[in-house]
Structure 1
Amino acid sequence: MKLEQVIEFMPESIRRLIGRQTFLPGEAIVRKGDRADHVYILTKGSTRVSNEFATGQRYTFAQQNTPDLIGDLEVLAGQEFYSTTNEAQTACETIVMSADTFMQWMRRDNHFACAIAQMLAAKMYPTSNENGRIKFQPSIQRLQRYLVRRLDEAPSELFVLHSNRQQIADDIGTSIKTVNRGVNKLRETGFISLFHGKISISVEQQQKLRSLKFDT
């Protein structure tokens, strides 16, 4: 049974204990280091999942879309604090419940427990696989892969990337200085252009960027 159906048939005893909360783009739903005392079900919108380190560097490594859960991993693992920051990428609507209510629902509803297990497996496998691989990619290769992914998300004859350098650095797990070096290198070799400081990519450049090969 899918999560949407599970929510529809939520036990009345649980329904009385839940709430609903809306988050605007950029607002943190949970923040790394805060007490993991609530679980959220994302019912509308998308979020960015990132990890922050003592150096001040932030690495955005995943995106969550409807329907999905936030905070479930920490609660199920018995962890006291959230391990990552999860912020709204678009306007988000959520169902919110205490950690105790979440565990109570898991024990009472086998369909809910099954849906959570399947979602956790689907969410964790590709994320762990990518995290293990991306650390070994040169930064310019990460930037190239990132730009190709953004091109795929919004095809255009003249693509303009509106993300700032900090956002790019967060998304590929590096520093602004490293991003700037990569951008300059790709511009100097004709793979991208700059328009008022924004990365722009023509049709010809898109083809070159997609076919760019790196030594392995």
Structure 2
Amino acid sequence: MKLDYILDHMPDEIRRQTTHKIFFPGESIVRKGEEARHVYLITRGTIRVSNEFASGQRFTFGTLDVPDLIGDLEVLAGQKLYSASTEVSTQCEVIAMRSETFLQWMRIDNDFALAVAQLLAAKMYPTSNEAGRVKFLPSLNRLQTYLLKRLGDIDTDLFILHTSRQQIADDIGTSVKTVNRGVVKLKDEGLITLLHGKITMNKAQQVAMKNSLIDE
């Protein structure tokens, strides 16, 4: 369901109980372990979702954008604490509401309840389908898979990854030290090149990277 439809059909009694908030890149909307008192409807921007562990490592396992919800899973599951942290990637706008307001909206608006179910399914399916498999791949394979995912269907003679090593580590669930070791190994194998510290792949390296994973 599209955002415009959701907002146009929001009951007035629910609208009066919501507030509009703006977040900037790097800010957190919720953090793992905080009380799940609010639900947020994203109306603009992109947000990274990550899990932090006692070891200090952080694993970014998904992204949210319009019209995703934050906190819906916890509230519907009856959990008192947020299960993951969210960090704003691009300037973000949300409609914030108390958890009680969110549940009230679902009870009185069947279309909204269906939209929430569909959004939850869309979020949970890729996590169920991919996260477990990637988690148990060796760290070097995870790095290669990540680079190919970032490359996607881009047709370019020179792919340049403008992402910090820390963010790569967060995205694949490992440490910066491990990422750096993997980068060195891939460079030594001729699968990538470093340009001012940034990972690059020319056409031949892109093909070789794909083939190296197929061969394994």
Q: TM-score range by the shorter chain?
A: over 0.9
Give the C-alpha shift of residue 214 in structure 1. 5.8
Give the C-alpha shift of residue 62 in structure 1. 0.5
Amino acid at match of 1:68: D
Give the C-alpha shift of residue 26 in structure 1. 1.1
5+ residue gaps, structure 2: none
**Is the Cα–Cα contact under 8 Å of residues 141 and 214 in structure 1 kept in the other structure?**
no
Alignment of 1:62-211 (within 5 A): 62-152=62-152, 155-211=155-211
Q: Is 1:42 aligned to 2:67, yes or no?
A: no
How large is the Cα RMSD of the aligned pairs?
Answer: 1.6
Amino acid at match of 2:168: I
Amino acid at match of 1:122: A
**Is the Cα–Cα contact under 8 Å of residues 3 and 112 in structure 1 kept in the other structure?**
no
Runs of 4+ in 1 over 6 A off after TM superposition: none
TM (norm. structure 1) is: 0.94
Amino acid at match of 2:51: N
Match of 2:29 in 1: 29
TM (norm. structure 2) is: 0.94
Instruction: Quote the Cα distance in structure 2 between the aligned partners of 1:87 and 1:80.
Output: 20
**Is the Cα–Cα contact under 8 Å of residues 148 and 210 in structure 1 kept in the other structure?**
yes
Instruction: Quote the Cα distance in structure 1 between the aligned partners of 2:197 and 2:2.
Output: 44
3-state SS of 1:170 partner? helix
**Is the Cα–Cα contact under 8 Å of residues 3 and 43 in structure 2 kept in the other structure?**
no
Amino acid at match of 1:54: A
Match of 1:5 in 2: 5
Instruction: Quote the Cα distance in structure 2 between the aligned partners of 1:15 and 1:86.
Output: 24
